[in-house]
Structure 1
Amino acid sequence: MNSALKELLDLLDLEQIELDIFRGRSPEERIQRVFGGQVAAQALVAAGRTVPGDRMVHSLHAYFIRPGDPAVPIIYNVDRVRDGRSFTTRRITAIQHGKAIFSMSASFHIHEEGVSHQAAVMPAVPEPETLPTFQQRMLTALGDEPALREWLSRPRPVDSRYVNALPWEAYRDPSLISPENHVWFRYDADLPDDPLLHIVLAAYASDFTLVDTVLLAHGMAWGASNVTGASLDHAMWFHRPFRADEWLLYAQESPWSGNARGLARGQMFTASGQLAVSVVQECMIRVSDGVTKS
């Protein structure tokens, strides 16, 4: 287990400071705002700490309200909305500087037998081991600059293998523009068997590439297109057990963008083709010169 993954697992081990009140922190990085996937993952951990162990989260619906300040702790307040015979509902609010920066509703369900089908088909893509790492793709796309090499040399908690073009590659080569973005990912370590941990880690990783999928549809890239963006809301449905330390294919698409917003959808498949997670996110996309490239 590399140092980045160890730090992430430590960040997810929230401090309980009162009944249904938890405190989380952010990595010691010089960044402008807290990564949205981190807030969502920590909020889900806080909710899970208040739910009986026989119930597993099956859906979450979240809103990113304000940018998070990485320099100060985040307080997570959990509201026990409902404890029913089969379903449990929690509402979580993340607070910094006395204001809400994030809110989430999460629903937990006991295991029940029922009708079952899967119409979704995993896209036919190369095996992850045949694809270069994210670091290798970035070095090829942006060049071997000293600052970039230093950033890419840092360990990452998630091993990501892109099937399609990176936004930077599509920015430089318009023939690579696509509304689809398929990414293999896994946490490269043997993780504990706790099912909630694997769900939380999937929630963390789910926010990495959805906004990129909207950018890819327009041939835009961070730092190269006068573009700014942020996640607005995020919804996930967890269909079956899976492991985040085994390869998952994150098949994403952007069906629409407009009015300074973009929509992205994703499906996470196990390597055997089973649909494990469905994701939908709306994001803000603004271009400073007022012209959107398409």
Structure 2
Amino acid sequence: MSPPQDPEDEQGGGDPPGDLRSVLVTSVLNLEPLDEDLFRGTHYWVPSTQRLFGGQIVGQALVAAAKSVSEDVHVHSVHCYFVRTGDPKVPVLYQVERTRTGASFSVRFVKAVQHGRPIFICQASFQKAQPSPMQHQFSMPAVPPPEELLSHEALINQCLRDPKFQKYQVGLNRIAAQEVPIEIKLVNPTAPCKLKKMEPKQMFWVRARGHIGEGDMKMHCCVAAYISDFAFLGTAILPHRWQYKVDFMVSLDHSMWFHAPFRADHWMLYECESPWAGKRDSQEPTASQHRNSHLDGSSRGLVHGRLWRQDGVLAVSCAQEGVIRVKPWDSTSKL
């Protein structure tokens, strides 16, 4: 990784007190070098599904790729495929191939391996900083600042104290017990008991726990890669969550584009939307097939995301597609 770069601190948020280094830097994304372009990564947080968290694999793979490029280039895009389920019981080996090192752009191919087989592959592209005469961006959505919103933990504790949520106690306690290394503040939180049809859109403020500092911009991109997969694919479930219960949900691919410097330990607004979910048929379904399509229970969902700095600058764009298998919702089910 390269020496400190200035990621334009005007995005706001301020440094946390003291020098409490983020566990994302000291542990989660801190790879062990084994040989040239060969690294080993271990696991910090494993979801209740007992499959490796996709954001961890993307973040660690980007760390491995960044270690093979010069200090004067910065990641501008990464394109990934998840090819097998990750095993949380063993470390992941990351093999880097130096596909191209050019005057302006450098490309790296990374393969993540467990049990002798690839579980994940990605291409990362790096570019030397260059001025651009052509610039534009969308406008950041108008939302309350993070200081005015309750944390994810506070929302859960609020629900746990409310007698109306008694049937959700087990699920809420399970969520509260997870030691996730990022902080989240939902912009429009909805209570578990409200059977409200929602658009496939959500927004939340997010940042890494602990202190990363100005540091290397590549590390902030790696942390953002970790953050970007959190609750992302779930956006495709929102319009259907009271009609179907998720039986299985896994990412197929994940892409990111980095536009402007940012700090991943400062609050950023994550704007997520799902423009489509379904299954592509080889021909138009008959009326009967359409009526019974829910019996299949398997769909692909597409999600788009944007990470905004608090000062309104668009820092990162991302997209992901995943497989979602559902079953009809049972009103007696718990979270």
TM > 0.5 fold call: yes
In structure 1, the residue matched to 2:99 is 81
1:64-79 equivalences under 5 Å are: 64-79=82-97
1:124 aligns with 2:124: no
1:58 aligns with 2:82: no
SS of residue in 1 equivalent to 2:52 = coil
In structure 2, the residue matched to 1:39 is 57
Instruction: Compute the displacement of 1:154 (Å).
Output: 5.3
In structure 2, the residue matched to 1:208 is 230
Work out whether residues 22 and 211 of structure 2, in 8 Å CA contact, stay in contact via their aligned partners in 1: no
1:6-45 equivalences under 5 Å are: 6=23, 9-27=26-44, 31=48, 32-45=50-63
SS of residue in 2 equivalent to 1:246 = coil
1:237 aligns with 2:226: no
Query: Residues 220 and 51 of structure 1: is their aligned pair in 2 closer, same or farther, counting only changes over 3 Å?
Result: farther
1:256 aligns with 2:276: yes
Provide the rounded CA distance (Å) in 1 between the counterparts of 2:305 and 2:262. Answer: 16
Range with greater deviation from structure 2 (28-37 or 110-119): 28-37
TM-score by length of 2: 0.78
Query: Residues 79 and 240 of structure 1: is their aligned pair in 2 closer, same or farther, counting only changes over 3 Å?
Result: same
SS of residue in 1 equivalent to 2:320 = strand
TM-score by length of 1: 0.89
Aligned with 1:94 (options 81, 90, 112): 112
Amino acid at match of 2:324: I
Range with greater deviation from structure 2 (152-161 or 69-78): 152-161
In structure 2, the residue matched to 1:157 is 181
% same residue? 39
1:105 aligns with 2:129: no
Work out whether residues 4 and 155 of structure 1, in 8 Å CA contact, stay in contact via their aligned partners in 2: no
Aligned with 1:198 (options 212, 220, 227): 220
Instruction: Compute the displacement of 1:6 (Å).
Output: 2.3
SS of residue in 1 equivalent to 2:264 = coil
Q: Which structure would you say has the larger Rg? A: 2
Provide the rounded CA distance (Å) in 2 between the counterparts of 1:101 and 1:95. Answer: 6
Query: Residues 230 and 2 of structure 1: is their aligned pair in 2 closer, same or farther, counting only changes over 3 Å?
Result: farther
Amino acid at match of 1:182: M
Work out whether residues 217 and 254 of structure 1, in 8 Å CA contact, stay in contact via their aligned partners in 2: no
Query: Residues 51 and 4 of structure 1: is their aligned pair in 2 closer, same or farther, counting only changes over 3 Å?
Result: closer
Work out whether residues 20 and 210 of structure 2, in 8 Å CA contact, stay in contact via their aligned partners in 1: no
Range with greater deviation from structure 2 (88-97 or 136-145): 136-145
Provide the rounded CA distance (Å) in 1 between the counterparts of 2:69 and 2:242. Answer: 42
Provide the rounded CA distance (Å) in 2 between the counterparts of 1:276 and 1:288. Answer: 37
Instruction: Compute the displacement of 1:149 (Å).
Output: 3.5
Range with greater deviation from structure 2 (22-31 or 236-245): 22-31
Work out whether residues 238 and 278 of structure 1, in 8 Å CA contact, stay in contact via their aligned partners in 2: yes
Number of residue equivalences: 286
